[in-house]
Amino acid sequence: MPQRGQHKVIIIGTGPAGLTAAIYTARANLEPIIFEGAQPGGQLMITTDIENYPGFEKGIAGPELMDIMRKQAQRFGAQSFFKTINKVDFSSKPLRVWADDNTEYTADTVIIATGASARYLGIESEKNYMGSGVSACATCDGFFFRNQRVVVVGGGDTAMEEANYLTHHASEVTLIHRREGFRASNIMLERAKKNPKIKFALNTVIDEVVGSNENGRKSVTGVNLKNVKTGEITFHPCEGVFIAIGHEPNTKFLKGILDMDEVGYLKTEKSSSKTKIEGVYACGDAQDSVYRQAITAAGTGCMAAIDAERYLESMGE
Ligand code: NDP
């Protein structure tokens, strides 16, 4: 019989996956504790309207949806901690995790729902102007670019959504994409194409973010754009640079402990949330490199809760 932990279920992460796992395990009287992490509510907290989450005919704002999910989980007794887990030890039972204030928690099961974070281009000048003109969140920072010129990098739904949103603030939005084909869904792409404030620069990448640093105050003045076909570099004046090129899973703290692919997505058994360690389950964007939708995250969160519940039952819970 494995040694029992202080808690039956620990959930790491509070996007739709973590909160759905919390709703299910709380309703099963498993008294889950949830670690909210660096971005409580996850990526939907920085999204505008969610139009494709079933049940909301007219759409719903991301933060509102997460607030409802959290309250639903709390109604059944789930308890939230506003801490980040940055270390785990799953080598023996009970499973052990440590929060950023060094507190140790133990549990019989752990559900990993840490989601993913925005990716950046990785060029030096991008880092240099981060927070001073470079951003990965239009809903957070769009307001600062009122009547100014901005560029958005990417060819997926996020880039289209960010570009559309930014037209409410900026005087001009240029969407920069490295090829001619788009990953974005037709509906989002068409909406962007029809928006008179959005211009497209295709087969183009940012070679350098250009700016000034006057009296210690950094600001962006433009970007050097490179045409990937001709190699030609041209200067494009703008005040804001929004990077919307996808996400990477928040799983670095699990490296060497759980199996993951080369990008960092956690590997689970087919049609299950089970990792290679008994009692440890993975769900949401930390585990799903294919669908990455709020609704699929919620679905896999539900799977993780049921898998954890069945394991606890087998332990005689
Ligand atoms: P995607 O992976 O779909 O798209 C990323 C885009 O960034 C691609 O066009 C890619 O180019 C480009 N890119 C990647 N790396 C670089 C780089 N280093 N330099 C330049 N360009 C780069 O990510 P998204 O975040 O757009 O979308 C993720 C998921 O979320 C999707 O499933 C999407 O449907 C969903 N989503 C849904 C929304 C909605 O329904 N309202 C809103 C936002 C997202 P390339 O195509 O050449 O690889």
- Sorted by where each starts, the structural domains of the chain and their CATH numbers stand as 7-117+247-314 (3.50.50.60), 120-243 (3.50.50.60)
pLDDT tier at 38, thresholds 50, 70, 90: confident
Beta strand pairing status for 172-176 and 149-153? parallel
pTM listed for this prediction:
0.78
302 is catalytic: no
Q: Is 94 left (phi over 0), alpha (psi -120 to 50) or beta?
A: beta
Write the residue with the smallest CA distance to atom 25 of ligand 1: 246
Q: What percent of the chain has pLDDT over 70?
A: 99
Q: How far is the CA of 194 from the centre of ligand 1 (A)?
A: 20
pLDDT at 317 over 80: no
Question: 166-199 burial string, b = 16+ CB within 10 Å, else e?
Answer: bbebbebbbbbbeeeebebeeebbebbeebeebe
**Mean pLDDT, rounded, of the chain:** 95
- Please give the pLDDT value at position 52: 86
- Asked whether 183 lines ligand 1 (CB < 6 A), one says yes
**The token pair that represents 79 in the structure block:** 């308890």
140 is catalytic: yes
